[in-house]
Amino acid sequence: MSRPLVELAGVSKRFGGATALAEVDLTILTGEVHCLVGENGAGKSTLGKVVAGVHRADEGILRLRGEQVTFRSPRDSIAAGIAFIAQELAIVPDRSVLDNVFLGREGSALSVVRRRAQLAEYAALAARTGFDVDPLARAGSLRLAEQQKVEIMRALARDAELIIMDEPTASLGGAEADQLLRIIEDLRAEGRTVVFVTHFLADALAVADRVTVLKDGRLVRTSPAAGETPDSLVTSMLGRSLGSMFPDARVDGPSDGDAVLQVRALSRPGEFAGVDLEVRPGEIVGIAGLVGSGRTELVETLVGLRRPSGGSVRVARTNGPFRSPRHAQRAGLVMVPESRKDHGLVLGRTVRENVTLPHLDQVSRLSFVSRARQTAVLETLLPEVGLDPRRIDSPVGELSGGNQQKVMFARWLFERPALLIADEPTRGVDVGARAGLYALLRKVADEGSGVLFVSSDNEEVIGLADRVLVMRAGRVAGELTGEVTEDDVLRLMFADETREEIA
Amino acid sequence: MSTLGAQRSHIKLARDYGVLLSAVGLFVVLAVASAPFRTATNQLNLLDQWSTIGIIACGSTLCIVAGGFDLSVDAIFALSGVIAAWTTVHLGSPVLGLLLGMASGLVLGLFNGVLVTIGRINPFVATIASSVVFLGIAQLITQGSVIAVDDTAFSELGLKRFGDLTLPALAFVVFAVLSAVVLARTVVGRKLYAVGGNYEAARYSGIAVDRVQIFAYAVSGLSASIAGVLAASRNSSGQADLRTELAFQAITAVVIGGVSIYGGEGTIPRALVGVLILALIGNGFNLLAVDPAYQQVLLGTIIVLAVAVDAWARRTQR
Ligand SMILES: Nc1ncnc2c1ncn2[C@@H]1O[C@H](COP(=O)(O)OP(=O)(O)OP(=O)(O)O)[C@@H](O)[C@H]1O
Ligand SMILES: [Mg+2]
């Protein structure tokens, strides 16, 4: 067996009153791929952050190559050969991709940054990873998936011995996620050690040598991946087995009432063109497509964040296009955006404030916000989305990633919308909670709203949607109903390429 | 999830209590060390003297919470006083003069807000530039000299007393209470926090982000003009070249009190504790006859500390 690289002994970490890690003993072996799985809030990110020197353990010992170490900051851990890719990305938005990749590696303060050498090294990195990101682009202008790639390249550029990745595939599309899994295998072949946090259990089992399950801050067990199945992991993560992931489709099919959303020939130059789209009450429509196929741009246009150049939008009885999210909301159209950190949450404010932000008129009297009214609504709303109502006054920044996503759903289900749009609804949400969110979306639809969601997880699109639209290069490439298979979706996603193969 | 409930980070708790304790500590030290400090007259005088900065600090707090920054309060302070004096002298109506003077701050603040939001100009640049413009206008009106007002109705205002309180002191108390209530309890207050805390998230939530920020600048302008008019009344004159350091002092107080300069956080009571600390340091150094140079050094140190603690508390929040 190989030697231990990192050992945690009796590590505990508390935040205020909440225990994030409780007496965790964990050994990470040199050269292994070690996956951490667990529910939202189980302590996976905290564990990664303790090893990366972001947080300091309250109790317990951290050993690196057999020697006890204390990391006072990420700087110390980087110096010790550890790279950490955080769940909430840490991009410097105003610098170029190149600068971001080589951040912290510019050499001594006096040496001139050698741009040409960096560009060459960048090209090598890009070739090695197969990531195609313009090195001179402003990092902040990139979409989330691209930013994720920049973070991964940064970790690789540091030539670290141990790389900790916290949900690196959450924002990547299927093909890119597969690429990342290959990169992880390459890293292992080079003798590096990888700690990999993910909610995609199949991914975990595909690449991991060993898997550790965390629950409520405690380590349930560490075992060889070969002996586990997704079901066995779910059972120890949740403490119960999970029935089926997806709720049953509505028996009587969507009602044939008037469409809640009717889009005709909607276009925006360079983003999407000639999009026709309809959602009926009670119906869940999923949009699949490659990252960059114009899906996010389309839904952002629907809610009034972007102006279409042509086409019509009609929501329930109101004609759009809408000038702002406020106008869309008035018509009954709301959206859970793709990036909850950038576009969703005010991290420093409480759950209460974040949820009621777009509904202040309903929870106030004469312009005075009524806590009692807020509490009354949230006490039933929070459990409905799977949040503990005792969290009502926690700052959202202190919630785990998955629970933050639930806050976003609570916000937009405060009032039942005519149409709920969700862009990547389950990003970073654990399996148990994901099943909960699917059930919730189905319930919302059954109560008469329409649901439109964008997802890069084809299994999710197929499992949840009554009808699937596939977008390719800004156009609706096709619509699928009935028994949809992953193959059908992929064929439409890559239609051009397959046609070339046939020819 | 184990014990839940209030879970603010230790640093933030330490900061909140630290600031409060320093204020109380200073107060006790001064009370023990200096007999004149203990007198009610001294305390009331302090309240009166610091009313100008206090009022402006409240306006600045709203602006900073909303993610803005207003460096033009000095200019608005001067210009509103000039407008009040000019109107009183040339139109013969002190009431109109005082009202116009106060209203001017609202308008000038709106102007700042429009520059920053619709004009998309960086708040520092925008409000420094508008300062230059405002002071220029004040110069034009006064033609380089002082507009003396020989009207008792005009001058009485600044000297009026309500019981033990002077009118400026009373105005400070009222303005502080009002802005505290607006920030902590109203719909607009919630929006100010959201816009300052995460501008994009507020926009995606359907908040009229520009309107909210313009409101914040308007309040900041109004606070400066209320203070400016009261000062003009007390001086019986309006003048363009009042060399004050109101923006600096008000922002110092706000920051010392623990209002985050990055926006989205902070309360009026905190800003007021900041004003109190400034006042106690100034008063204490005077009463104990310490070289004012030390006062500068101490103040600078405190500001750096306050900002550092703020940045620190933010980092651990992630
Ligand atoms: N900075 C913080 N301040 C307060 N509490 C925190 C902080 N970071 C994490 N916590 C709490 O610690 C617990 C563990 O959080 P952690 O982020 O490690 O979970 P996770 O397993 O990564 O979850 P997810 O899958 O949702 O990302 C949660 O209850 C969370 O609310
Ligand atoms: Mg996490």
Residue in this structure with the two tokens 């919302």, named with its chain if needed: A444
Residue A149 and residue A52 share a domain:
yes
Cβ atoms of residues A97 and A143 within 8 Å: no
Q: Rounded CA gap, A182 and A176, in Å? A: 10
* Nearest atom, ligand 1, residue A42 CA: 21
pLDDT value of position A253 = 60
pLDDT value of position A50 = 93
In this structure, is residue A228 part of a structural domain?
yes
Mean pLDDT of chain A: 87
In this structure, is residue A339 part of a structural domain?
no
CB contact under 8 A, A216 and B1: yes
Instruction: Please check whether residue A58 touches B, CB under 8 A.
Output: no
End-to-end CA distance of chain A: 51
Q: Which ligand is nearest to the CA of A166?
A: 2
Peptide bond into A321 cis (omega under 30): yes
Q: What are phi and psi of A6, to 5 degrees?
A: -125, 135
pTM for the predicted model, two decimal places: 0.79
List of residues 6+ apart from B269 with CB closer than 8 A: B180
In this structure, is residue A61 part of a structural domain?
yes
Sign of the Cα pseudo-torsion (A9, A80, A153, A344, in order): positive
Q: Rounded CA gap, A197 and A167, in Å? A: 5
Q: Which of B9, B188, B198 sits opposite A345 (nearest CB)?
A: B198
Residue A112 and residue A100 share a domain:
yes
Structure-block tokens of residue B42: 């001294």
pLDDT interval class at A164 (50, 70, 90) = very high
Locate the domains of chain B by residue range: 18-317
pLDDT tens for A17-26 read 778 999 999 9
Q: Which chain B residues are closer than 8 Å to A72 by Cβ?
A: none
Residue in this structure with the two tokens 């949040």, named with its chain if needed: A387
Distances (CA, A) of B260 to A307, B41, B289: 35, 34, 33
Residue A407 and residue A272 share a domain:
no
Residue A231 and residue A276 share a domain:
no
Calculate how close chain B gets to A342, using CA atoms only, in Å. Answer: 7
Q: What are phi and psi of B238, to 5 degrees?
A: -125, 135
Q: Of the candidates A195, A216, A241, which is a domain's last residue?
A: A241
In this structure, is residue A372 part of a structural domain?
yes
Cβ atoms of residues B221 and B272 within 8 Å: no
Residue A427 and residue A280 share a domain:
yes
3-state secondary structure of A77: helix
Cβ atoms of residues A166 and A152 within 8 Å: no
Cβ atoms of residues A96 and A137 within 8 Å: yes
pLDDT value of position B209 = 94
Q: Rounded CA gap, A399 and A388, in Å? A: 11
Is the model's pLDDT at A88 over the cut of 80? no
Distances (CA, A) of A133 to A139, A465, B169: 10, 32, 60
pLDDT value of position B243 = 65
Mean pLDDT of A306-320: 91
CA of A501 relative to ligand 2 center, distance in Å: 41
Helices (H), A166-259: 174-189, 201-207, 230-238
What's A30's domain CATH number? 3.40.50.300
Output the 3-class SS for B111-166. HHHHHHHCCCCCHHHHHHHHHHHHHHHHHHHHCCCCEECCCHHHHHHHHCEECCEE
pLDDT value of position B7 = 38
Angle at B71 between CA B67 and CA B72, to 5 degrees: 120
* Nearest atom, ligand 1, residue A217 CA: 14
- Of all helices (H) and strands (E), which one includes residue A297? helix A295-302
Task: Please determine, looking at this structure, whether the domain spanning B18-317 carries the CATH number 3.30.160.
Answer: no
> Which residues sit opposite B237 in a β-bridge?
B148
Residue A399 and residue A354 share a domain:
yes
In this structure, is residue A338 part of a structural domain?
no
pLDDT interval class at A1 (50, 70, 90) = low
In this structure, which residue's CA is closest to atom 12 in ligand 1? A20
pLDDT value of position B318 = 43
- Closest residue in B to A347 (Cα–Cα): B197
Angle at A230 between CA A227 and CA A235, to 5 degrees: 95
Instruction: Please check whether residue B4 touches A, CB under 8 A.
Output: yes
Q: Where are the beta strands (DSSP E) in A39-100?
A: 59-64, 67-68, 82-85
Residue A459 and residue A502 share a domain:
yes
Q: Which chain A residues are closer than 8 Å to B187 by Cβ?
A: 360-361, 364, 367-369
Residue in this structure with the two tokens 């902040």, named with its chain if needed: A140
pLDDT 10s digit of each residue in chain B, 318 long?
333 333 345 666 777 777 888 888 888 988 888 888 888 888 899 999 999 999 999 999 999 999 999 999 999 999 999 999 999 999 989 999 999 999 999 999 999 999 999 999 999 999 999 999 999 999 999 998 899 998 888 888 888 888 888 999 999 999 999 999 999 999 999 999 999 999 999 999 989 999 999 999 999 999 999 999 999 999 999 988 776 788 888 998 999 888 888 899 899 999 999 999 989 988 888 888 888 888 888 888 887 887 777 777 666 544
pLDDT value of position B9 = 57
Q: Rounded CA gap, A372 and A356, in Å? A: 12
Instruction: Please check whether residue A127 touches B, CB under 8 A.
Output: no
Question: Can you state the angle between helices B152-159 and B209-235, rounded to 10 degrees?
Answer: 110
ipTM: 0.83
Best mutation target, A360, A366, A370, to test chain B (most B CBs within 10 A): A360
Which string of DSSP letters, residue by residue, matches A237-250? HHSS----SSPPPP
Length of chain A: 503
Number of domain units in chain A: 3
pLDDT tens for A203-259 read 889 899 999 999 989 999 999 999 988 888 888 888 776 667 788 776 566 566 788
pLDDT value of position A105 = 66
Residue B160 carries which side chain, given as an amino acid letter? K
Q: Of the candidates A220, A241, A262, which is a domain's last residue?
A: A241
> Which residues sit opposite A28 in a β-bridge?
A6
- Of all helices (H) and strands (E), which one includes residue A21? strand A18-29
Q: Of the candidates A222, A241, A260, which is a domain's last residue?
A: A241
Instruction: Please check whether residue A367 touches B, CB under 8 A.
Output: yes
Q: Rounded CA gap, A211 and B213, in Å? A: 49
CB atoms within 10 A of CB A4: 16
pLDDT value of position A379 = 95
Structure-block tokens of residue B92: 């013969």
Instruction: Please check whether residue B125 touches A, CB under 8 A.
Output: no
Encode A280-318: b = buried (16+ Cβ within 10 Å), e = exposed.
Answer: bbbbbbbbbbbbebbbbbbbbbbbbbbebeebebbbbee
Angle at A103 between CA A20 and CA A291, to 5 degrees: 75
pLDDT value of position A144 = 74
Q: What torsion do the CA atoms of A171, A177, A179, A182 make, to the nearest 10 degrees? A: 130
Instruction: Please check whether residue A144 touches B, CB under 8 A.
Output: no
Q: Which chain A residues are closer than 8 Å to B193 by Cβ?
A: 346, 349, 353
Residue A55 carries which side chain, given as an amino acid letter? H
- Closest residue in B to A89 (Cα–Cα): B318
Distance of CA B171 to the CA centre of its chain: 13
Residue A270 and residue A134 share a domain:
no
In this structure, is residue A13 part of a structural domain?
yes
Q: Which of A17, A305, A397 sits opposite B317 (nearest CB)?
A: A397
Q: Rounded CA gap, A167 and A153, in Å? A: 15
Calculate how close chain B gets to A411, using CA atoms only, in Å. Answer: 9
Residue A473 and residue A404 share a domain:
no
Is the model's pLDDT at A155 over the cut of 90? no
Domain containing A499 equals 245-332+417-503
